[in-house]
Every structure is written in C-alpha cells, then in structure tokens.
Amino acid sequence: MADSKLMTKLNAGLAGGGGSGGRGRAQRRIYLDDAGAAPLLPEVAAALRDLTPANPSSLHQEGRAARAALDRARDIVATQLGADRGEITFTSSGTEAVNLALFGVARRLPKQARILTWAAEHQSVLGPARRLQAEGHSVTIAEVDAAARADPDAITSGIALVSIGLANNEVGTVQPVDEIVRRAHDVGALVHLDACAGPRWIPVPRGPDLISISGQKLGAGAGGMLFVREGVRIDPLLYGGPQEWGRRAGREDVAGAIAVSTALASSGRGREERAVVAAQHAEGLRALLEECGGRLTGAALRLPNYASATFPGRRGEDMLLALDVAGVAASSGSACASGSLDPSHVLLAMGLGMDQALGSLRLTIGYDTTDDDLALARAILSSVLAPTTARA
C-alpha cells in the first residue's frame, strides 16, 4: 500500500495539470537522474550532424568516409584510455560490453578456474556471473561492507578473473580499483573494470585488463565500448564477419562509435572543476535528505554528484511518482517489473533490511544542473519527503 500523504500529493498534482500551476502552462522540470541516463551532450549532437549512412566495409567513397569516421572515433577512445586502436571494440551498450568481457574471458578458461565479483555490482555483471555459474564455472560473489565497498581480501590464489565496478551505480561508492588490480595481478588473474558509472566525474584507471563503458551514461545517447588489453584473448558473443578485430561480428555502428568517443573525450575536459561544483551541490542535497528523515547511503569516497538515502517505512515508487508530478526526475534502487516491486539488491548486500531496501532514493546532479534548479528541487523535496506518521 502506498504512503497516504504521498498519494494525496500525487493525486492533487494530476488533478492540477501535473503541478504546472494550471492548464496550458509548461511545468519546469528538474532532472536529477544523471546516473540513470546522462542527457545528450551538444558536442555529440554536433558530431553526428553530417554523418554518412554508408557501411564502413564498403569500398565506395561514402563507405571510405564512414570507415575514416570509425577509425577517428577509435583513436579518440584509445587516446582517452591510454590504449592502442586495436584494443578498442565498440558495442551497442555498456551491458553488451560487460557481457562480452565476462563471457569472452570465462569461456576460454577451464571450468575450475575461479571467477570473482561482489554482491553489490550492477546486474549486468551479476547476471553473467550467475549464468557462468550455471554453466559449471566456479564463481564467487563476495560480500561488501555497509557502504557497498568491495574487499580486496576476497582475492586469493586460484582466481583467474575478477570483475569490479569503478563506482557503485546506486550509492556512488568509489571502489578500491588500484588495490584490487594489484592483488589480482599478483595471483595471475585478469581484471575486468565495469566503468559504466563514473567516467563523467572521475578518471578511468589504466591498470585493468578489460574496461567496459556505457555511452548512455556518458551523454552519448547510446552505444558502448570495451577495452581489451593487447595479449588478452576473448571469445565473441556474436559470430559472423571479422568486424571489431573479430570480437564482435556485424556491421559497425559508426554513429554509436562517434557518439561514445565524443562523449568520452568531453568528459575528460573540465572534469575536476565540474566534480568540485557537483560535490558542493550534492552535499546540500544529502543534508536535506537527512533532515527529511532519510538514512544516507554510500561511502565518504563517492562519485561527487550523488545524494542517496533510504526512508524506512516508505516506498521508493511512491516517492518517485510524487516527485515526478512535482517536477523532479529522480530514481530509486527499487525496480518495478511485471507489477511487482523488488528490493534493491545493493542495499540488501550492504546489510540493510527489506523495509529500508524498498524505500531508497537516488538524486544525481548533471553537467547542466543550475543553482536555480537545486533551489527549486530542495523546496519540492522538502514538501514531498516531509516526515509523516501516516502509513498504509
């Protein structure tokens, strides 16, 4: 059952034209879900404006132009990651890049070789890990601490593949990647870094053997890419032609490659300055969430644009709907699927109870979030999230 006060606000907003102040007046929207999908960058839109639709494998002039654009995109990504062109494979998404990394490496390993990841990783990591386990591979899904931080001590002799996120997608905790890479390499293991969350705000480390990146979370709109260090062999997920160095068959998505490369390069320009401003804004939002009765989640070392909390006794979808009607786009750790609500697996892994895991809220600031946006957002959040004893 939904929180009665939140549903009253929701129904009032719907009756009043979505909180716009009357029919015919456009509602001012405040987007605080940068971690869910970053808005398309103007640089990306400009880069795609004169794109040729030709197949980059074709020999005619248009095909050669498409090939040249694809090569430029690959070189841009390689420069950003300190890599060589042949180490970059473009994919359709971050999820595909993660799957290609994990299945691609694991299926070349003996079944007894151990694979390690942690319980608060993204489902695009945990899903393949469980599938590999079902196929007979030795998979360990290690525990995390109360801030969703992975423990490098889980890396022991006999592990052949380690998968860790750059930062936790739900609560923003930055993982000890350098230490994990060092320990994994000490025991002879390969390291896959899921860098889908974070590159807009912090640099991507150069130690891992495989790195997955999502275009959607960079502001590219779509696309993804996988870095595979020279000498590391992976099996493809798709079979057919020799595209992408034999790692991914099928016609190359030139538009996606251009979008991802442009967004990745853009994220590296002014990153530190943007991070400082975002951290200041996020600190204010976290203080407000606490004032409204929330319990903050995540480590002190987190992505600078994150403010996340749980609200015991409330439901994430109720808060999201009420905020949406009032003009704020936010997200929750809970996922609605087929009419049923699942608790956040991240919060459960952190040791929180079911009640808290169902009542999470995540606010993430973007490049274009203004002081005026945040002032209005704080007023709306204070109204919607005001503590109440009314519970259904």
Active site residues: 336
| Both structure tokens of 20 | 């716009």
Neighbours of 287 (CB within 10 A): 13
Residues 6+ apart with CB under 8 A from 337: none
DSSP string across 121-183: S-HHHHHHHHHHHHTT-EEEEE-B-TT--B-GGG--TTEEEEEEESB-TTT-BBP-HHHHHHH
Cα–Cα distance measured from residue 318 to residue 6, given in angstroms and rounded to the nearest whole number: 6
**Secondary structure of the chain: what % helix, strand, coil (to 5)?**
40, 15, 45
Are the CB atoms for 241 and 249 separated by under 8 Å?
yes
Are the CB atoms for 205 and 177 separated by under 8 Å?
yes
Cα–Cα distance measured from residue 266 to residue 262, given in angstroms and rounded to the nearest whole number: 6
Q: What are phi and psi of 190, to 5 degrees?
A: -85, 150
Neighbours of 130 (CB within 10 A): 13
Neighbours of 233 (CB within 10 A): 9
| Both structure tokens of 385 | 């999230």
Comparing CA positions, the residue from 340, 334, 342, 296 lying closest to residue 316 is 334
Q: Give the torsion sign (CA, 54, 56, 57, 63).
A: positive
